[in-house]
Amino acid sequence: MKAGPIRRAAGTLGLLALIPTALMLIAGNVTLQVAAVRSGITLGTVMFLARVATWGVGWIADSAQAAPPAAPASEAPGNAGNKAPSNAANKEVPR
């Protein structure tokens, strides 16, 4: 299954966010348990941000597609006074 661009970006961001934890673990500044907790928090945060980004992009895409079509030139607001109503031919004129 192919991953979308947002998921790929989130994966890249997650790997980059783990670099400081890995460096501190290698240097011996943190224990294995602390590094595991930091990695879990990083994973949860990146997954949450990916979901929010996916929702935001979907919302923007849906709102762009739901835009009403433009009115034809003959029915544009500036030409409304120049055109007779479409049902004018069917009306009887009282005498």
**Is the residue at 83 inside a domain?**
no
**Is the residue at 87 inside a domain?**
no
What is the pLDDT averaged over residues 20-34? 94
Q: Which two tokens stand for residue 81?
A: 């006074």
**Is the residue at 76 inside a domain?**
no
- On the question of pLDDT at 85 being above 70, the answer is no
**Is the residue at 26 inside a domain?**
yes
Predicted pLDDT of residue 1: 54
**Is the residue at 50 inside a domain?**
yes
Question: pTM for the whole thing?
Answer: 0.59
**Lowest-pLDDT choice from 17-26, 51-60, 86-95:** 86-95
Count the domains in the chain.
Answer: 1
CA-based max dimension of the chain: 101
Full residue range of the structural domain in which residue 12 is found = 5-63
Measured CA to CA, the distance from residue 18 to residue 14 in angstroms comes to 6
